[in-house]
Structure 1
Amino acid sequence: MDKIHHIAIEVKSIKDTIDWYKKHSSCEVSYQDDTWALLKYENISLALVLPNSHPPHIAFEKDDAHKYGELKLHRDGTSSVYVRDPSNNAVEMLKLNK
């Protein structure tokens, strides 16, 4: 069974949205920059993305992510490729560094 790594939602302000989620839920900020942030929860992570910077998406942890296309290496050591489901939703196939 696959594991969902994170869900990314589009927000208007990274800082304001982080402040809201920290006030209304128990989470930790795993990463933050000008265009996106990652909030860590006990069972999943929530990515906050700005419009036109990163697509809203769902990310699955996949050891065979390379089967979906050319992987892009990220600064945290993970690599991934984006694909589209039949309804045109963005889906990230993410390979963790182990």
Structure 2
Amino acid sequence: MPSFLAETYLARPGKARLRSAQRARAAAKKLAEHGTRIRFVRSIYVPNDEICFLVFDAISADAVEDACNRAGLRFERVVEAVESPTSASRKIRRTGATTR
């Protein structure tokens, strides 16, 4: 299933970030219970930019937008994200070069 990032702005970190993630998780769970293929994965906060990325595995960007709307979250955009394989990250030499 593809991964997506929902980009949100949080001027006040801490509890606001935690509440946003909790609401996103609850909304995704509710949608999943009703048959939508979606799962909240985690949140990533970038304090210097006051940006919070909510990471979902979902069938579509529309499903993520629906979850964010149901959670009452304002988001700038939802984009598909591609994660690099974890096996490559385990084979990094001290020089920083990746082995094959």
- TM (norm. structure 1) is 0.32
> Which one has a larger percent strand, Structure 1 or Structure 2?
1
Q: Which has the higher contact order (CA 8 A, sep 6+)?
A: 2
Structure with the higher fraction of residues in helix conformation = 2
TM-score (norm 2): 0.31
